[in-house]
Chain A
Amino acid sequence: MTKTKPPVLDIRNLRVEYPLATGDVLVAVKDIDLVIQPGEIHALVGESGAGKTTVGNALMGLLQAPGKIVSGSIDIAGKPIDLRTGRTEGIVPGRDVGAIFQDPMTSLNPLFTVQDQLCEGMLTHLKISAREARARALDLMKAVGIPEPERRLGSYPHQLSGGQRQRVVIATALACDPQLIVADEPTTALDVSVQAQILKLIRDLADQRGVGVLLVTHNMGVVAEIADRVTIMQNGAVVESGPAREVLTAPKAPYARTLIAAVPPIDTRLERLPVPSEETKVTLEARDAVRRNNKKGNAERSDEVVLDVRNLCVEYGKGSLIPGRKTSVFKAVKSVSFNVKRGEIFGLVGESGCGKTTVANTIAGLVTQSSGDIDFQGNSLGGHRARSVRQSLQMVFQDPYSALNPRLRINNAIAEPILFYKLASNGAEARQDAKTLLEAVGLPGDAGLRFAHAFSGGQRQRIAIARALGPRPSMLICDEPTSALDVSVQAQLLNLLKDLRDLAGLSMLFISHDLAVIRQMCDRIAVMKSGEIVELADTETLFTAPKHDYTRELLRLAPSLERILERERASA
């Protein structure tokens, strides 16, 4: 923490380029400056493709060929990096620079015990004995707060939970007392409760050990929670940089303002998220057409119950040697009851593994319940479903990259269900409908002539929505539809889903782990925990006066910009 120490990271005019096969050059990082003092957490924020991960890779010497540093300088702890080799004299990646990656599931070697994992770096870099290394490993395990550290040293990664694994990754990064840690989306794959613990751990490490942290993230809440300074990047260039409070509360650059405005607030409900409107003349006309088509089956919002789920139980069993018989049984959903009214958006929220996706899959017919009833518009849903039921119940999935068949042209993919349900008399007519649907979800009508790989994640999710609307459903199940997307794209999609609900009279079952998104979207919410609904209430009631302890816990832990500012105002 002394002023005499050089900054742990000093990047000047860094430019990273990727030569393309066409002969052009892609500039991934455009002349950026970035300084991190000891004990400082510097957040690097931006949407996918902004170049933030490239910066992290460049300073660790992990740039993938053909990417190369073209100009600029990187000083780590006062020592300059050799731009040709990507290495710094006297600085060893792994010893002086620690890395924490996004996915704790893959950043540990599954064949190494925790101890092997921790000691490997120490034995290579520090020239200490195996006994000393083990002692240090034990200290590290205690430092990152893993329960029963002695026993856990002998565990393999698969025996640890996601949060524990990420702690081990952090311990590995700390093993050789680095001066700088590069944390690339360290909590993105984790639940909020675990995320809160990991963030606190990183903050403590910076404060107590004086480690500088470069925190690469897309989550503004995380930034607000722990970062001292923040740099916002767009298309490889720095848009704005400064102390976290200042940038987050009063962003100056227009892009920074849009980006921060696109973050859904958890404390207030907005009619629409403030992102540029996409309602062109074409979109509006297309939406009118969709509205006319859907008029037949779907009435306005009312108190009529469309979907009634009673005592739903779903069990998964491991198959035994004899086919058809199950041995050990896991109860994914335990006696869940709720209903969805016409035109309502009903939210299911909970941490990973709580059974919310299983509920969605059961209603969609991908999984069959072991007991309980699902009533949908007067039809009881079980293993076999009538054609009309299948048609009126459609689903949008989480991963836009696997949701579209890579070998099918988009208009054929959208036209398929339209033709299948005989909503168009021939292929040409169905493709015309597909074009209208594409325009209604804000894509150009000729997008249908291309294949899925030509589109970005957000565009693919729009296509998936268009496909789900094709059979003119009365209910749409959305399973984490925006969790794989950037905030500004997420904001647009959430607005789009709201618009579609209004114009097509859709009821929606909306599933998310993100409380802020749920608050923006849903009329009523059920909170799930280990297969059960612990609380079910109106959105406003749930957020302002939560009754169950678990709900309160979730709300408290969700990183939120406004909450932190409020806390600060209160203490000041």
Chain B
Amino acid sequence: MAMARQSLLHRLPPVSVMIAFLILAVMLVLVIFAPMIAPMDPRDVSSYSLMDMEIPPAFMDGGDPRFLLGTDNQGRDLVSVILFGLRISVLIGIGAVLFAAALGVMLGLVAGYFGGVVDSVVMRIADVLVSFPTILVALLISGIARAQLGTDMVLTWAPVILIFAISVNEWVQYARTVRASTMVEVSRDYVRAAKVIGLPSGRIMVRHILPNVMSSVMVIATINLAGAILTEATLSFLGAGMPPTYPSLGTLIRIGNQFLFSGLWWIAVMPAAVLVILVLAVNVVGDYLRDRFNPKLMAR
């Protein structure tokens, strides 16, 4: 045990994990500096022209060196569209994870700390929520939002609606984990000591218990990030997500899907490939972190 832990902590991560880390780092840089890196702004109609539509990638016959990955049916440069799409996908993924984690950690702490009625109520709500499929709930929420807000508002608020729609179900996992760890910590003497000292409950939860339950939250968050990005892509693909004027990777794949069988494969395949690489990299890193912070290896 001691040996295994020692070596796991001191050894460098495996090559696959290093590559995944590298990919994520590069993607992060691209996403942050997208407006500077992208050859054109896909949201600015004047920057592209229908003259350039449906040009194949530069390495194929009939390719244009200006458009490395070709153009779509509106003449937009695919590199630029994908960069901005990636940006939105990552933004919504991270946003959804953060929102779900914040909500789940808070409710889990409260449920685990107070127990009794509070615990029953919170956890029963959680049970009911997870019995609906995530996609179904998300479709429902974006549907309602569309009906209530009107098209213009939806265009501006689409990312926020998506973040909310995705996290409505995701927080349950954080809440359950945090609740379980909180119950363990509450029975420990340092928490009892804090109670005897007379500290208020909120302070005990935030200052004493929270730091001791965070490591499992971090691991779940990393693993769920891939799931959240995929859910967003699915919703956008189904047409309930980001609009074509402000596309995410999922929207791009949906647009490309219409041309897939007319020989214009790159419009769908290029964003899909980026999505696959992104999710794969996040998953590899997430799995590594999970093993590395495995409580069974961390114990003692």
Chain A residues close to B by CB (< 8 Å): 21, 64-66, 319, 323-324, 364-366, 385, 387, 390-391, 393-395, 397-399, 402-408, 416-417, 420-421, 464, 467-468, 470-471, 477
A402→B116 contact, CB < 8 A: no
Q: Which residues of A sit under 8 angstroms from B211, Cβ to Cβ? A: 405, 407-408
A387→B198 contact, CB < 8 A: yes
B190→A404 contact, CB < 8 A: yes
A403→B189 contact, CB < 8 A: yes
Q: Which residues of B sit under 8 angstroms from A402, Cβ to Cβ? A: 188-190
B6 within 8 A of A: yes
Q: Which residues of B sit under 8 angstroms from A407, Cβ to Cβ? A: 211-212
Q: Which residues of B sit under 8 angstroms from A21, Cβ to Cβ? A: 6, 10
B116→A324 contact, CB < 8 A: yes
B199→A420 contact, CB < 8 A: yes
A-B contact pairs, 30 of them (CB 8 A): A64-B1, A64-B2, A323-B116, A323-B120, A364-B196, A365-B195, A365-B196, A385-B198, A387-B198, A390-B197, A393-B196, A397-B193, A402-B188, A403-B190, A405-B190, A405-B208, A405-B211, A406-B212, A407-B211, A408-B208, A416-B199, A416-B207, A417-B197, A417-B198, A417-B199, A420-B197, A420-B199, A468-B193, A471-B198, A477-B196
B200 smallest CB distance to A (angstroms): 9
Docked Cα-Cα span, A64 to B192, in Å, equals 35
Please give the number of chain B residues whose Cβ is less than 8 angstroms from any Cβ of chain A in the complex.
23
| Nearest CB in chain B to that of A20: its residue | B6
B117→A471 contact, CB < 8 A: no
| Nearest CB in chain B to that of A400: its residue | B189
A420→B2 contact, CB < 8 A: no
Docked Cα-Cα span, A199 to B188, in Å, equals 32
Docked Cα-Cα span, A399 to B188, in Å, equals 9
Taking a contact as CB atoms closer than 8 A, the residue among A366, A387, A398, A403 that contacts B195 in the complex is: A366
Query: Would you list which residues of chain B between 95 and 126 have a CB under 8 Å from chain A?
Result: 116-117, 120
B196→A366 contact, CB < 8 A: yes
Q: Which residues of B sit under 8 angstroms from A397, Cβ to Cβ? A: 189, 192-193
Given contacts A397-B189, A399-B189, A402-B189, are A319 and B116 in contact (CB under 8 A)? yes
A364-B196, A403-B189, A471-B197 given; name 20 further pairs at CB < 8 Å: A21-B10, A66-B3, A323-B120, A365-B195, A365-B196, A390-B197, A391-B198, A395-B193, A398-B189, A402-B188, A402-B189, A403-B188, A403-B190, A405-B212, A416-B194, A416-B197, A417-B198, A420-B199, A467-B193, A471-B198
Docked Cα-Cα span, A250 to B1, in Å, equals 42
Docked Cα-Cα span, A319 to B120, in Å, equals 11
Cβ proximity bits B120-148 to A, threshold 8 Å, 1 near / 0 not = 10000000000000000000000000000
B190→A394 contact, CB < 8 A: no
B180 smallest CB distance to A (angstroms): 17
Given contacts A323-B120, A390-B197, A407-B212, are A66 and B190 in contact (CB under 8 A)? no
B187 smallest CB distance to A (angstroms): 9
Q: Which residues of A sit under 8 angstroms from B189, Cβ to Cβ? A: 397-399, 402-403, 464
B139 smallest CB distance to A (angstroms): 34
Query: Would you list which residues of chain B between 161 and 204 have a CB under 8 Å from chain A?
Result: 188-190, 192-199
| Nearest CB in chain B to that of A405: its residue | B190
B263 smallest CB distance to A (angstroms): 59
Q: Which residues of B sit under 8 angstroms from A366, Cβ to Cβ? A: 192, 195-196
Q: Which residues of B sit under 8 angstroms from A408, Cβ to Cβ? A: 207-208, 211
Docked Cα-Cα span, A390 to B188, in Å, equals 19
CB-based closest 3 A-B pairs: A390-B198, A397-B189, A403-B189
Cβ proximity bits B255-274 to A, threshold 8 Å, 1 near / 0 not = 00000000000000000000
A473 smallest CB distance to B (angstroms): 10
Q: Which residues of A sit under 8 angstroms from B199, Cβ to Cβ? A: 416-417, 420
Given contacts A391-B198, A405-B208, A407-B211, are A323 and B193 in contact (CB under 8 A)? no
| Nearest CB in chain A to that of B116: its residue | A323
Docked Cα-Cα span, A407 to B194, in Å, equals 14
Count chain B CB atoms within 10 A of each CB in A66, A323, A471 and give the residue with the most: A323
B63 smallest CB distance to A (angstroms): 55
| Nearest CB in chain B to that of A470: its residue | B197
A413 smallest CB distance to B (angstroms): 8
Taking a contact as CB atoms closer than 8 A, the residue among A65, A405, A416, A477 that contacts B3 in the complex is: A65
Query: Would you list which residues of chain B between 207 and 250 have a CB under 8 Å from chain A?
Result: 207-208, 211-212
Q: Which residues of B sit under 8 angstroms from A416, Cβ to Cβ? A: 194, 197, 199, 207
